[in-house]
Structure 1
Amino acid sequence: MEEQLLVVLVVVAAAGMMGQWIAWRLGLPAIFVLLCLGLAIGPLSRLVVPEQDFGAMLDPMIGLAVGIIVFEGGLGLNFSELRRSGQGIRRLVGLGIPLSAGLTYIAAYYIGGFTWEVSILLASMLLITGPTVIQPLLRQAKVGMRAAAFLKWEGVLNDAIGAVLTVLVLEFILSTVATRDLTAPLIDTLVDLARGTAIAAFLGLGAGFLAAMLMRADRVPEFLKAPFVVTVVVCIYAGAHLIQHESGLIAVALFGITLANRDLPEIEDLRRFNDSLTVLLVSGLFVIIAATLEPEAFSEIGWREVLFLAALVLVVRPVATTVATMRSDMDWRERLFVGLIAPRGIVVAALATLVGSRLSQADLEGADRVLPVVFGAIILTVSLQGFLIGPLARALGLASTTRPSLVIVGSNPWTAALAQTLRRLGTPVLITDHSAEALQAAEADDISVHHGHILAPTEDAPEELKDLEYLLAATDDDAFNALICTRFASSIGQQRVFQLPYADHLDFGPEWRGRVAFGAGFTRESLLQRLKAGWRFRVCAPDDVWPQGDTDRAIAILRLLPNGDLTIASEETTATEPANAQVVIFEAPDSASIEDCKGDRRSSSPSS
C-alpha cells in the first residue's frame, strides 16, 4: 500500500510539472493541458484512482490545497489597484454576483432542463471565476494593470463568496428535500451565512493584523516567516471550515489581502514562495480532480447541456457584467473584455465533486449531470478564453505588444542610442533613471522613459516597468547595478538580467549580480568613449558577417529573433545562435558596411 501511494504521488507530481512545462513551451492554457494529462493517467490508463489511492484523505487534502491557493490570490491584491479600479470592482462583485447567479439559474432551468434544486446549485457554483486560472492567463496575454485588476479582484472574492454560497445552498436543498419545508431551512441557511461570514472575517482579519505585527516586531525569524504564514493559512482555514463549511476560503482570502496591504518588507519574498507553492498545488490538484472523472459521465451531456454552456459563456456573463458595470468608471473596452473572460478553475472543480456526490446520495433528479456539466464549463471556458484573451486584449488596446520588452536602467548617450536602434527593430524599450536631467536626451529622441526609482515604482509607473521581461543595468554605480539585477532575477529569471562590466577591484559572486554584458573591459565609460569616437550601432542580417572577435573594430550587443526574443551578448551566455537571428553590433566608424560584408556568408554569433 505504501509503495502504491508513493508511485501515485510521483505520477501526479510528474504529470503536473510536465503539464506546466508543455503549456509554457507551446503557449497553451496550463489548466487545459493539466486536465488532459489527468484524464490520461486517471480514467484512461487507471494509473491513478484518487478515491482508492487517497481514501478519506482526498477531500481534506483538496480543501487545504484550495485554501492555500485562494490565500495566494489574496496576497496579490493591493488596495492601490482598488483605488484605481474600485468602482468597477465593487460593481462586478456587488451587482455582478447576483446578476450572474440569477441569469445562470434561468439558463439552467429553462435551457438546460435542470430541476430548480440543481439549477440553483449550478448558479452558485458557476459564478466562481478563480485566480488560479485568471492570473496565468493575464500574464500570458500581458493584459494592462487596470484591466487585469478587475479580473484579479473579482476572481479572488468570487472564489470565497461562491464557495460558501454553494455549500449553504447545498445544505438548504438537502434539508428542504428531507423535511419538505422551505421556511426553516431558509432561516437556517441565512443564519449559517451570517455566522460563517462573521467568523471568517474575524479569523482572517485578526490573523492578518497579528501576523503582520509579529513579523514587523521581529518575533518571527526570517527562515520561519514563509512556513509560519502557510501554517497560519492552514489553521484559520480549518478553524473557519469546521464551524461553517467553506467559510475558510473567506478567512484565508481576507488574511492574504490584509498581509498584502500592511507594507511588510518581506511581502515580496512571501509572494514568491507562495506563488511557487501554488503552481505545485494547482498542478497536482487539477491532475487529481481530472483523474476522478469517468468518460461515461460525459455521455450525460446532450444538446440541452450544450446550449446551456453556450448561453453561460455567450449570454449570461456578458449581460451580467454589462448591466452591473453600467455608468461605472469602466470604459466600453474594459466592460467588453471582462464580459468575455471568465474561466472557471480549481475551486469550481473541487465543489463539483462535493455537490455531485451529495446530490447522488440524496437521490436527487439530475445529480448525475452536475459533474460533467461543470467540467464541461471548465474545459470550454479555459480552452476558449485561454486562446481568446491575448488577441482580444490586443484588439481592444488593453495589452502591451506581444514582443518582449527591455528595460534599461540608467540614461546616457550610449543607452539612448541602443534604445533608438531597438525601437526601429520593433522591440519595446524603456529607459528609467532617477535623474530628470539625464533623461532629457532620451526624451528628445522620443524614447519611452520613466523618471523615478526602479526599486520603488509608483502607482502611475509605466506597464513595462511593472511587468518587465529583460533588464540591462547600465548606471554609473556597479554595486547598484548588481543590486537591481539581484532584485529582479528572482521574478524574470537570472538569464534575463544583465549589467555592464564592473571595476576589477569588485568581486561580485554570480548569485549577487546579473550576467556581465559584452565581456570584461566594456564598462560604461569605455562604451561612452567609443560612442564619442564615432562608434555606432548596426543591425546585421542573419546571413551577414561582421568583424567578430576583433573587439577593436566591433562588439556584439545582442541577438534578436523574429518573435522578439532577445539575448544580450555575454561570456556567460552559451546559447547557440539560431540561423534566423539578427545581431545588433556596436562598431567603429571604419568597419566594413553591410554591403561590403555580403560576399562572405559565414555564420556569426553575438556571444563574445
Structure 2
Amino acid sequence: MLTLDLALILSGILALGIGAQWLAWYLKQPSILFLLLIGILIGPILGFFNPDETMGDLLFPFISLGVAVILFEGSLTLEFHEVKSHGRVVQMLVSVGVLVTITIVSIAAYFLFEMDPKIAILFGALVCVTGPTVIVPILRSVRPNKNISNILRWEGIIIDPIGAIAVVLVYEYIISGGSGDHALLVFGKILLVSILIGMIGAYLLAQLFKRHLIPEYLRNVFALAYVLLLFSISNHIEHESGLLTVTILGVALANWPKFEKDDLLDFKESLSLLLISVLFIVLAARLNLDSLLSIGIPSLILLAVVMFVARPASVWASSVGSKLKFNEKLMLSWIGPRGIVAAAISSLFAIKLAEYDLAGTEYLVPLVFVIIIGTVLIQSLGAKPIGNLLKVREASDNGVLIIGSNPVALKIAQSLRDSGFDVVMAHNNYTNISRARMEGVKTYFGNPVSDHADRNLDLIGFGHLFAMSMDRELNTLCEINYRHAFGKKNIYRLRYNDDNSKKNERQERNDYWQSAWLFGEGINYGKLASMIANNAKIKITNITDNYSYEQYREDNKNYIALYMIDKNGSLKVFSSETGENIPSGTKIIALVHDPENKKNIPNDNPANKGQKKLKTLADKEKKIDD
C-alpha cells in the first residue's frame, strides 16, 4: 500500500507539474508562478505532500542530480561569440551588471539579516540571474520596442549560465573554508579537479560524437548518463566539485568547434522541463510558511533594493556611452524578474550548507522565493502601464513570419521590410533562403515547426503569419503550430490553385485548419507571379478625407492590395475577411502594374514568360518540400 501511495504521489506531482507548464503556455505567463503556487498549496498549506517524509534519503540525490542536469543544459547555451554579437549593452549587463547586482544585494542582505558575509555574497549571486523562461512571456505581453526587447531577451539567455557559474564558484569557495591558506588550497583543488574533468570530459564526448562512435539513437541518453557519471566522479574525487564540473563541461561543449549540439539541446531541454516541473513543486512544498512569514518587513525592503536600487544601478552602469534613451533605460530597469536558476540552486545549497553553521543560511530559500515571486508578479503586472507611461511599447505585434521562400514570398518580405516591419522568411530550401538573405531579408533555414525553430526563431514582436509555401501540408502544420501564439485572425494562407472543384480527402481535412486567404479570396500565386514578372511595382497610397478607398479602387483597375498601415502604425493585412470600409489616415500598400506595360500582361493568363520563370523557381521549392 505504501508503494502504491508513493507511486500515486510522484505521478500526481509529475501530472501537476506538466499541467502547470501547459497552463503557463495557455495564459502566456511565466510557468514558475504556477509551479510554486501548486507546491506551496499541496505542501505547507494543505499538507498533502511532505517531500522529506515521502522521499526520505532519496530527496537530496534527486535535487542534486536535477540541478546538475539543469546547470549542464543552461551552460550548453553559452556561446562566446553570441556574447560578442549582441551589442555592448548586453555584454556589459552580463559582466559589469552582474558584479554591480551582486555587490549591492550582498551588502543589503548582510545588514538586513546579519548574514555571514560569504552567505550574503552567495545570495547576491543567486538573485543576479534573470533567465529566458521568465523574461520572454513578459516581453510578449508588453511588446517593448526593438532596443529593449533585444537587450532583455539576450541578457536573459546569456546571463543564465554566467550567473550559474558565479553561484557555483561562490559556493565552492564557501565549502573550502572561505579564508586562510588551507581554504585557498581546497578551493584551488576544487577548481583544478572541475576544470580537468570538465575539459577532458568535453574532449572525449566531442570525439565520440564527431567520429560517430555513438549511434544516433543512443546519443541523447548516452550524454545524460555521461553528464551524471562525471558529476558523481568529480564529487567522489573532490567533495562538492561536481556542479562546477558539469557547468564547465557544458560551456566547453557549447564552444567546441563543429560539435553538433542541437539534438542534444532538444533532449536536454525536454528533460530539464520535466525536472524543473517536478523539482519546483518539491522545493516549494518544502517551504516553511512560518519562516517565510518571519522574515517579514526586512524581506520586502530587500525586494525593494533588488528592484529599485540594484537593477537600475546595473542598467545605468552597463549603458554608459550607449545610444539608449532615458525612457528605455528606465524600462530596462523595471524588467528583471528572477527565475529557475535561483530557486533550484538556493534550495540545494541551503541543504548542503546546513552543516557549516553559517549565519543566514536558513534565510537563503525563503528570501530567494520572496525575490522570485515579488519580481515576477510586480514586474509582470506593472510592465504594461510602465511601458505606456514611458512610451516605449509598440502599438501592436507588427512582425511577420513568412513560411516559404519562393520569389513571391521574397517580394512581399522585401515590401514589409521597406515599410519598417520586422519580417523573417522561414523555409528549408537552402538556395532560396540564401537568395533572400543576400537581399537583406532576415531568414531562418530549417523546418519552421521543429524544436530547433522553437529555440532559435526569435518571434518577440511578431504577430502575423503568412503561409506562402508551395507545400500545403507545411502551410497547414505552421497554421496549427503558431495559432496559439499569433491568434487565428492573424494567420493567413496564400492560394496557389484556383481549381477547388476537385479535392481529395487530405485537402478537405486541411481545409478545417485553413485560415483567411492572403490578399483576398480571388488572389493566388499565379496572379502575383504574373504581375511581378512583368515589372509590377509596390506602391503606397494615402487614403484621406479627399481620397477615399472607393475612389482608389476606381483609379486602379490592375492592382492587388497587400496590406495597409493604420494611423497608429499598426499592420493590417488584406485578406478574404477584409471589409470594404478603409478609414481615412490609412496607407495602402499594393502591387500595381504600370499602365505602359499593360499590353504585355494577359490579365489572368499564367502562361507568360516571366511567370514561367517564377513558376520554375516555385516548383523547385515544392520539390524540396516534397
Aligned equivalents of 2:140, 2:197: Cα separation in 1: 31
Instruction: Tell me: CA distance 1:26–1:431, structure 2 relative to 1, closer, same or farther (3 Å).
Output: closer
Instruction: Tell me: CA distance 1:341–1:273, structure 2 relative to 1, closer, same or farther (3 Å).
Output: same
Instruction: Tell me: CA distance 1:21–1:209, structure 2 relative to 1, closer, same or farther (3 Å).
Output: same
Q: Indicate yes or no: 2:234 matched with 1:229.
A: no
- Offset at residue 101 of structure 1 (A): 3.0
Q: Indicate yes or no: 2:123 matched with 1:122.
A: yes
In structure 2, the partner of 1:159 is 164
Aligned equivalents of 1:264, 1:490: Cα separation in 2: 30
Deviations 1:492-527 (A, max 9, x none): 9999897866999xx9999xx9988889x9974477
Instruction: Tell me: CA distance 1:232–1:403, structure 2 relative to 1, closer, same or farther (3 Å).
Output: farther
Aligned letter for 1:322?
W
Instruction: Tell me: CA distance 1:365–1:343, structure 2 relative to 1, closer, same or farther (3 Å).
Output: same
Instruction: Tell me: CA distance 1:198–1:236, structure 2 relative to 1, closer, same or farther (3 Å).
Output: same
Aligned equivalents of 1:86, 1:65: Cα separation in 2: 33
Q: Indicate yes or no: 2:285 matched with 1:291.
A: yes
In structure 2, runs of 5+ residues without a counterpart are 449-454, 537-561, 564-570, 583-626
- Offset at residue 300 of structure 1 (A): 0.8
> 567, 578, 584: which is aligned to 2:575?
584
Aligned letter for 1:235?
L
In structure 1, the partner of 2:3 is 2
Q: Is 244-253 or 191-200 further displaced after alignment?
A: 244-253
Q: Is 83-92 or 36-45 further displaced after alignment?
A: 83-92
Deviations 1:289-348 (A, max 9, x none): 00111222222123223212211221123324533x264668467765654444333443
Aligned letter for 1:371?
V
In structure 1, the partner of 2:205 is 211
Q: Secondary structure at the match of 2:441?
A: strand
In structure 2, the partner of 1:54 is 55
Instruction: Tell me: CA distance 1:134–1:56, structure 2 relative to 1, closer, same or farther (3 Å).
Output: farther
Q: Is the 1:125–1:163 contact (alpha carbons within 8 Å) kept by the matching residues of 2?
A: no
Aligned equivalents of 2:264, 2:475: Cα separation in 1: 19
Aligned equivalents of 1:240, 1:86: Cα separation in 2: 36
Q: Is 5-14 or 265-274 further displaced after alignment?
A: 265-274
Aligned equivalents of 1:74, 1:409: Cα separation in 2: 33
In structure 1, the partner of 2:109 is 108
Q: Indicate yes or no: 2:367 matched with 1:376.
A: no
Instruction: Tell me: CA distance 1:262–1:122, structure 2 relative to 1, closer, same or farther (3 Å).
Output: closer
Equivalent runs, 1:174-573 vs 2, <5 Å: 183=180, 187-244=181-238, 247-262=241-256, 264=258, 266-323=260-317, 325=318, 327=320, 331=324, 339-357=333-351, 366-387=360-381, 401-402=396-397, 405-410=400-405, 412=407, 430=424, 450=441, 454-455=445-446, 466-467=458-459, 472=466, 474=468, 478=470, 524-525=525-526, 528=529
In structure 1, the partner of 2:73 is 72
Q: Secondary structure at the match of 2:575?
A: strand
Instruction: Tell me: CA distance 1:3–1:400, structure 2 relative to 1, closer, same or farther (3 Å).
Output: farther
Aligned equivalents of 1:420, 1:335: Cα separation in 2: 32
Q: Secondary structure at the match of 2:29?
A: coil
Deviations 1:533-565 (A, max 9, x none): 99xxxxxxxxxxxxxxxxxxxxxx99xxxxxxx
Aligned equivalents of 2:59, 2:209: Cα separation in 1: 33
Aligned letter for 1:158?
G
Aligned letter for 1:402?
D
Instruction: Tell me: CA distance 1:81–1:471, structure 2 relative to 1, closer, same or farther (3 Å).
Output: same
Give RMSD over aligned pairs.
Answer: 5.4
Instruction: Tell me: CA distance 1:435–1:451, structure 2 relative to 1, closer, same or farther (3 Å).
Output: farther
Instruction: Tell me: CA distance 1:62–1:399, structure 2 relative to 1, closer, same or farther (3 Å).
Output: farther
Instruction: Tell me: CA distance 1:52–1:406, structure 2 relative to 1, closer, same or farther (3 Å).
Output: same
- Offset at residue 38 of structure 1 (A): 0.7
Aligned equivalents of 2:268, 2:480: Cα separation in 1: 17
Aligned letter for 2:30?
P
In structure 1, the partner of 2:45 is 44
Aligned equivalents of 2:482, 2:239: Cα separation in 1: 36
In structure 1, runs of 5+ residues without a counterpart are 174-181, 444-448, 458-462, 535-556, 559-565, 567-580, 596-608
